[in-house]
């Protein structure tokens, strides 16, 4: 049976802890009350990690260390914001793949120990105590941790309903949330592509949000961590498909990723100093363990310099060596990213076929490494969801509960599909066993042929057991 993180947190209560530490721990226990610490041997489908690109990435990383690691890299990093060569190569990366309206320069970038570290420092730099940010929901729980855990600010989820058809409707939701907020709102966090739905914002929606931020004099924070993991569907889909015998499948309003960096702020009459883009190696390049994130802010040198100083626990020099080397050969990197998108699309289609076979409602992803599905059904309750999580643990497969994502309704779960084919198929079989499903799914012949068998290598590493928090 899984144990739960909140029981560990509450047991930490100790008079030797500071009041603010106890307050943060109490908040965490309330915010994430039912995230299990899974037992050994669990097949991890709950953590948003990308295993599919790792066979291509690992040899390049090993070579980078062998060729470039020097004795000086064992000393403290002395550069604010990041090593000059890393900043230079990272700027080239953004200029090549994010199509910025104006070139990204090294002086626009700050490096940090992962996107979470960047978000934490960014929130500290932009918000006062007890101020807040709006964010589209459902959303990754880490945004709340960055805002609340140490900064003691507020994150206000704004639920984006299915079938939203115009930017005017979207802005109406944000405006209503701002009016209802009990604190001052300092900005909007736009996760594009979205976590957990795997959907993408249409460009004119992004432009509308930017203009709303200008109107309200608030910041626009773009989390584009899945930007290079967006693929186009092989066949056009309708906005929403329904069959009495099948599931409801929610389609993305857009399939092509557009970076905020590429938008024309002059035409939109938006001050570019309020635009800040967050990125990291963790998703598109399958390297969450290297802990390297970036902030790009092109017209706000004061914020850039503040972030460089305040984010003082700098990135590992070994990580910097690896990343700088990866970004130094953009042609090779482009091949890896193209291949990665193909593998992700094939894996997503495989899981989509599984969910369709079993008639589960789901969001068809067009980006990212996961799929958002209502395994618990429309009549799900807190009790039934908890029982389902216990069943998954007993079957030794971990999926992410929708509760920490601020899902409006019960029954939603996130399944990571960016796994080696053998582990992905085994994980789906364990889900079948955990739920006691009457029918047994098998990949169709088309799935077998179009799948990613060719992508797998005999020595591919196996995912380890799941941790306690969902990323």
Q: Supply 144's token pair.
A: 């709340």
How many whole angstroms separate alpha carbon 312 and alpha carbon 308?
Answer: 7
pLDDT of residue 461: 39
How many whole angstroms separate alpha carbon 145 and alpha carbon 470?
Answer: 12
DSSP 103-120: ---GGGEEEESSHHHHHH
The verdict on residue 436 lying in a domain is yes
Q: How many residues does the chain have?
A: 471
21 shares its domain with 109: no
The verdict on residue 229 lying in a domain is yes
Q: Where is the domain boundary, 268, 301, 329?
A: 329
Average pLDDT of the residues in 308-335: 93
Beta-strand relationship, 275-280 and 293-296: antiparallel
The verdict on residue 58 lying in a domain is no
The verdict on residue 270 lying in a domain is yes
172 shares its domain with 292: yes
Look-up: residue for tokens 């990383």? 61
Nearest residue to 85 via CA among 336, 286, 304, 326? 326
79 shares its domain with 202: yes
Nearest residue to 53 via CA among 363, 326, 372, 366? 326
Q: Supply 379's token pair.
A: 């009549």
Domain coverage including residue 25: 1-33
Q: Across-strand partners of 278?
A: 223, 295
The verdict on residue 292 lying in a domain is yes
pLDDT of residue 28: 73
159 shares its domain with 245: yes
pLDDT higher than 50, residue 1: no
How many whole angstroms separate alpha carbon 369 and alpha carbon 193?
Answer: 11
| Average pLDDT score over the chain | 88
Contacts of 79 (CB under 8 A, 6+ apart): 314
Q: Is 326 helix (H, G, I), strand (E, B) or coil?
A: helix
316 shares its domain with 358: no
How many whole angstroms separate alpha carbon 159 and alpha carbon 386?
Answer: 23
Contacts of 408 (CB under 8 A, 6+ apart): 137, 138, 159
* Residue 145 DSSP symbol: I
Taking CA atoms, 301 is separated from 208, 296, 298, in Å, by 25, 10, 7
Q: Where is the domain boundary, 287, 310, 329?
A: 329
Please give the share of the chain, as a percent, with pLDDT higher than 90: 70
Q: Is 4 helix (H, G, I), strand (E, B) or coil?
A: strand
Q: Supply 24's token pair.
A: 């943060």
pLDDT of residue 451: 46
Q: Where is the domain boundary, 329, 354, 389?
A: 329
11 shares its domain with 102: no
Q: Most distant CA pair in the chain: distance in Å?
A: 66
Query: What is the CATH classification number for the domain harbouring 467?
Result: 3.90.1150.10
Give residue-wise pLDDT tens across range 190-234.
Answer: 999 999 999 999 999 999 999 999 999 999 999 999 999 999 876
Query: Helices (H) and strands (E) in the chain — how many of each?
Result: 15, 17
How many whole angstroms separate alpha carbon 430 and alpha carbon 441?
Answer: 11
Average pLDDT of the residues in 88-111: 98
163 shares its domain with 261: yes
Contacts of 257 (CB under 8 A, 6+ apart): 192, 193, 200, 224, 227, 228, 230, 367
The verdict on residue 62 lying in a domain is no
> What is the C-alpha radius of gyration for the chain, rounded to an integer number of angstroms?
22
How many whole angstroms separate alpha carbon 28 and alpha carbon 21?
Answer: 11
Give residue-wise pLDDT tens across range 282-292.
Answer: 999 999 999 99
Q: Supply 256's token pair.
A: 């092509």
Average pLDDT of the residues in 76-103: 95
321 shares its domain with 345: no
Average pLDDT of the residues in 289-301: 97
21 shares its domain with 127: no
pLDDT of residue 161: 87
* Cβ neighbourhood burial of 227 (10 Å; 0-12, 13-18, 19+): buried
The verdict on residue 2 lying in a domain is yes
Taking CA atoms, 166 is separated from 101, 202, 256, 314, 352, in Å, by 25, 10, 17, 42, 27
Cβ distance 447 to 350 under 8 Å?
A: yes
Give residue-wise pLDDT tens across range 410-466.
Answer: 999 999 999 999 999 999 999 999 999 999 999 976 554 444 444 444 343 344 444
196 shares its domain with 255: yes
Cβ distance 430 to 395 under 8 Å?
A: yes
Instruction: Quote the strand ranges of 29-184, DSSP E.
Output: 36-37, 43-44, 109-112, 132-137, 154-159
Strands across the sheet with 154-159, in order? 109-112, 293-296, 275-280, 219-223, 185-191, 132-137, 154-159
* Residue 36 DSSP symbol: E
Q: Across-strand partners of 367?
A: 230
154 shares its domain with 177: yes
Helices (H), 327-440: 330-357, 382-394, 421-435
pLDDT higher than 90, residue 251: yes
Give residue-wise pLDDT tens across range 168-184.
Answer: 999 999 999 999 999 99
Q: Is 168 helix (H, G, I), strand (E, B) or coil?
A: helix
The verdict on residue 57 lying in a domain is no
293 shares its domain with 344: no
How many whole angstroms separate alpha carbon 139 and alpha carbon 142?
Answer: 9
Number of domains composing the chain: 3
Residue 357's φ and ψ, nearest 5 degrees, are -55, -40
pLDDT-wise least confident of 196-205, 228-237, 321-330, 374-383? 228-237
pTM confidence score: 0.89
pLDDT higher than 90, residue 96: yes
């Amino acid at each position: 049976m899984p144990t739960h993180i909140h029981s560990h947190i509450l047991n930490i209560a100790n008079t030797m802890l500071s009041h603010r530490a106890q307050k943060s721990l109490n908040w965490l226990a309330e915010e994430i009350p039912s995230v299990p610490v899974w037992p050994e041997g669990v097949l991890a489908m709950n953590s948003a990690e990308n295993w599919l690109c790792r066979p291509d990435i690992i040899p390049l990383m090993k070579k980078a260390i062998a060729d470039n690691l020097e004795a000086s890299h064992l000393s403290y990093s002395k550069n604010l914001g990041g090593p000059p060569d890393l900043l230079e190569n990272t700027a080239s990366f953004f200029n090549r793949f994010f199509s910025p309206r104006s070139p990204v320069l090294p002086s626009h970038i700050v490096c940090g120990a992962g996107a979470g570290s960047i978000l934490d420092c960014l929130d500290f730099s932009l918000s006062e105590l007890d101020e807040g940010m709006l964010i589209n929901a459902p959303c990754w729980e880490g945004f709340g941790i960055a805002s609340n855990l140490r900064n003691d600010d507020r994150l206000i989820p704004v639920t984006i309903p299915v079938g939203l058809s115009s930017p005017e409707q979207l802005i109406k939701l944000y405006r209503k949330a701002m009016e209802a907020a009990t604190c001052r709102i300092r900005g909007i966090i736009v996760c594009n592509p979205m976590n957990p739905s795997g959907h993408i914002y249409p460009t004119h929606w992004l432009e509308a949000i930017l203009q709303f931020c200008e109107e309200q004099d608030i910041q626009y924070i773009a989390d584009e961590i899945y930007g290079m993991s967006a693929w186009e569907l092989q066949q056009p889909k309708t906005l929403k498909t329904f069959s009495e015998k099948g599931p409801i499948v929610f389609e993305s309003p857009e399939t092509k990723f557009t970076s905020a960096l590429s938008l024309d702020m002059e035409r939109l009459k938006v001050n570019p100093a309020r635009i800040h883009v967050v990125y990291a190696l963790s998703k598109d390049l399958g390297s969450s363990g290297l802990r390297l994130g970036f902030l790009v802010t092109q017209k706000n040198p004061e914020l850039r310099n503040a972030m460089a100083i305040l984010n003082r626990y700098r990135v590992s020099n070994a990580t910097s060596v690896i990343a700088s080397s990866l970004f130094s050969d953009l042609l090779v990197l482009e091949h890896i990213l193209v291949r990665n998108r193909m593998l992700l699309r094939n894996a997503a289609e495989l899981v989509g076929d599984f969910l369709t076979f079993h008639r589960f409602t789901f969001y068809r992803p067009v980006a990212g490494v996961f799929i958002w599905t209502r395994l618990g059904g429309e009549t799900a309750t807190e009790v039934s969801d908890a029982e389902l999580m216990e069943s998954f643990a007993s079957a030794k497969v971990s999926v992410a509960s929708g509760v920490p994502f601020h899902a409006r309704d019960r029954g939603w779960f996130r399944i990571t599909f960016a796994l080696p084919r053998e582990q992905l198929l085994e994980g789906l079989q364990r889900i079948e066993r955990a739920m006691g499903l009457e029918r047994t799914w098998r990949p169709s012949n088309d799935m077998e042929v179009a799948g990613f068998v060719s992508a797998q290598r005999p020595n591919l590493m196996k995912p380890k057991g799941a941790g306690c928090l969902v990323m």
